[in-house]
Amino acid sequence: MIDLSVEFCGVKFQNPIVLASGVLGVTGDSLAGVVRNGAGGATTKSLWPYQHEGHKNPTMFGTEEYFMNAVGIPDAGPEKAREEILRYREKCGAPLIANIVGGKMEDYAEIAAMAAEMKPDVIEVNISCPNVEDELGKPMACSVSKSAEVTRLVKEKVGDIPVTVKLSPNAPDIRAIAESVLDAGADAVTAINTLGPGLAIDIDAGAPILSNRVGGISGPALKPLAVKAVYDIYAARKCPIIGTGGVITGRDAIEMMMAGATLVGVGTAVYYRGQEVFGEIVREMNEWCVENGVSKISSLIGKIHAA
């Protein structure tokens, strides 16, 4: 019997696979459905301290090589979030990660306090969305000082709830950003958010495919960058990491863990393999462990650093 459980910042997950923010995380029922389909935990969509409109359709599309989205982080506001998180708790006992976002520093402090009252198991701070740059300016995740400042603000508001900060592959030195947020009090980091923004054009229509014109790049093309980011951060600090970006199969997830991830975020894999992908990835990880004589999956975390 393979032990697939892992402990992340003192929170036990039955397996390392968690829903990444932005996919299927809108309602309590959809979040619980991800766990029923095999995930060890789930992450909400990004929560704002106020209602926030996203971008107009079309907001996403995919190819075999990559996926692009410019949803624009829509949110119905904190009251709706409370309702849906309560619904999740009624239906599911697996750990819940609340992802929060803001347009300016004070927004993060406000939504952090609100999110703490909802009692998630972990709070994930989104400072790195690449497809809202025209609205909010350069992502905070590209600035060492701003990343640290927002981390301190959040930590002051959330009490004992562990905090992970979601980092951007656009940062010139992601290790420096990771170290800045950890030094500012973060308990963990999430690596990475989508890359970009990128642009795709429908040449027959003579227009951009997305209504926002540009969007964040995820899917298979992102995985090598995500694995390298996880590797670099773990090499620098050996902190708890949620590795996310381009994970489609069980082998992808194991690769992410060997680079240093404790949890593995899965998002756009739903586009490629359907909502059953969470359980399929867990099954594939279990089969690999059996074939390779691994009895406890946590033993794989950071394995290549000892090689």
For residue 94, how many C-alpha atoms fall within 13 Å in the half-sphere facing its CB?
26
- For residue 276, give the 3-state DSSP assignment: coil
Active site residues: 129
Query: In the 8-state DSSP scheme, what is residue 159?
Result: T
Q: What is d(CA 268, CA 217) in angstroms, rounded to the nearest whole number?
A: 10
Within 8 A by CB and 6+ apart from 145, the residues are 180
Residue 43 sits at φ, ψ, to 5 deg, of -120, 135
β-partners of residue 100 are: 47, 125
Q: What is d(CA 164, CA 182) in angstroms, rounded to the nearest whole number?
A: 9
Burial (CB count <10 Å: 0-12, 13-18, 19+), residue 127? buried
Burial (CB count <10 Å: 0-12, 13-18, 19+), residue 115? buried
Please check whether residue 142 is in contact with residue 171, taking contact to mean a CB–CB distance below 8 angstroms: yes
